[in-house]
Copies of this chain bind each other. A is one copy, B any other.
Amino acid sequence: MDQKYYAGIDLGGTSIKMGICTETGQSVRELERPTPQGHYKDVLEVFQEMIHQLVSEAQISLDTVKGVGVGVPALLDIEKGYIYEIVNLGWKNVSLKEELEVLLGLPCYVDNDANTAALGEMWQGAGVGARHLICITVGTGIGGGLILNGDIYHGAIGLAGEIGHVTVRADEGQRCNCGKMGCLETETSATAMTYYGRKIAEAGESPPLAEVLKNTGAITAKDVIDVARQGDQAAQKILDQVGYYLGLSLAQLSNVLNPEKIVIGGGVSKAGDFFMEPIRKNFKKYALSKVSETAEIVPAKLGNRAGWLGAAWLVHRNVSNGGSLS
C-alpha cells in the first residue's frame, strides 16, 4: 500500500502553522507564515500556497495527501465546518470546509483550536496512550479541550472544554470578559499572574518585582515565577494561589470525569515542576484518592506544533472510519 499523508493547519490571529505528517503522525515538513489580516479569502489563498510548498519540499504527490484538518480560534458548526465568527480576524459566517474543499480539491475537517491542540497532545505528545484526557492551556487566557473515549467531546452546542470560565472565587476575584467574576482564567492565567504581580510590586510587598516594574515598566508571568524561584515570598504566594485554584478545579472536574491524564500547556507550563508541584499537591488533596492515584498531571510536550498535528488527526480519524479509504 502506498504511503498516505495528512495535512494540518493551525490558524492563529498572527500566524498560520501548517504541516504534513504520515499516517502515524510523524511530521514530514512544517511551515509558518504571518496571517493575512484582510479578507478571509486571502487566508485561504495562503493555505493553498503553503500546502503546495509543503508537498513540493517533501517531494510527495498531492494525491497522497488524504485531507486537510484546520484548527480555528472560533465558535463554529463543527460538522459543517462553518465559522460563525473569528473575532481577532474579523471573519463572520464563513463556510470554511466547503470553500477549502473546492480550492484544494481535498476533504477538509475543521474544529476549534483548543480542541485540535488537545488532539495533537493525545496523538503525539504528553497524552500518548491515554483515551481520557483533560487538556488545559495556561496562557493569556485559559483554554481547554476534553478528550473522552479517544476523541474530542464537544457537548450540546460545541462549548465543552471551557474550563477557563469555571467559577473558582464566587462573587470575588476579577471581573472576566465572560461577564462573571472569579473565573479560573481571571485567577490563574498569565494575565492574572501579571495583574497580581503588579499589585504586590506597587504595594511594596515584593522588592524584586518592584525593581522589575521600575526597570521595564511592566511585569510578566515569567517575572513572577522567576522572583518566586529566587525566594520572594510574596511572589510565591501568588503561585501557591494559582496552584490552589488550578489543583482544586482539576480535582473537582476529575472526580466527575475520571481522566487518565491531565495535560497542562501554555507558556507558563514551561516553568516545569516549580509551577506544576503546587497544582499536583492541591489536586491530590481535593480529588478522590482512586481518582488522583490513576490520573497523572503532566506538562504538554508539543508546544505550538500540537495545533497542526491535532488538525491532521481529524483527517486520520476520518480515514480510519472509512471516510475516504483508498
Contacts and interface: CB of A to CB of B under 8 A. Distances in A.
Copies of this chain held together in the complex: 2
Interface in A145-190: 146, 148-149, 153-163, 165-167, 170, 178-180
A288 B148 contact: no
A61 interface: no
Nearest to A158: B258
A252 B251 CA distance: 12
Nearest to A157: B294
Contact of A256 (B253, B285, B289, B294): B253
A260 interface: yes
A39 interface: no
Interface residues of A, number: 43
Contact of A295 (B156, B249, B256, B288): B156
Contact of A288 (B132, B165, B252, B257): B165
A125 interface: no
Contacts of A286: 167, 170, 180
Contacts of A294: 156-157
A160 to B, nearest CB: 4
Nearest to A259: B156
Q: Is the interface of A mostly helix, strand, loop or mixed?
A: loop
A299 interface: no
Given A155-B132, A167-B248, A248-B170, A256 B146 contact: yes
A258 B149 contact: no
A157 B251 contact: no
A111 to B, nearest CB: 15
Interface of A: 131-132, 144, 146, 148-149, 153-163, 165-167, 170, 178-180, 248-249, 251-253, 255-260, 285-286, 288-291, 294-295
8 tightest A-B CB contacts, nearest first: A155-B258, A159-B258, A160-B258, A156-B260, A167-B286, A166-B252, A162-B255, A165-B255
Given A154-B258, A162-B288, A165-B255, 7 more contacts: A146-B257, A148-B153, A155-B259, A161-B256, A167-B255, A167-B286, A253-B256
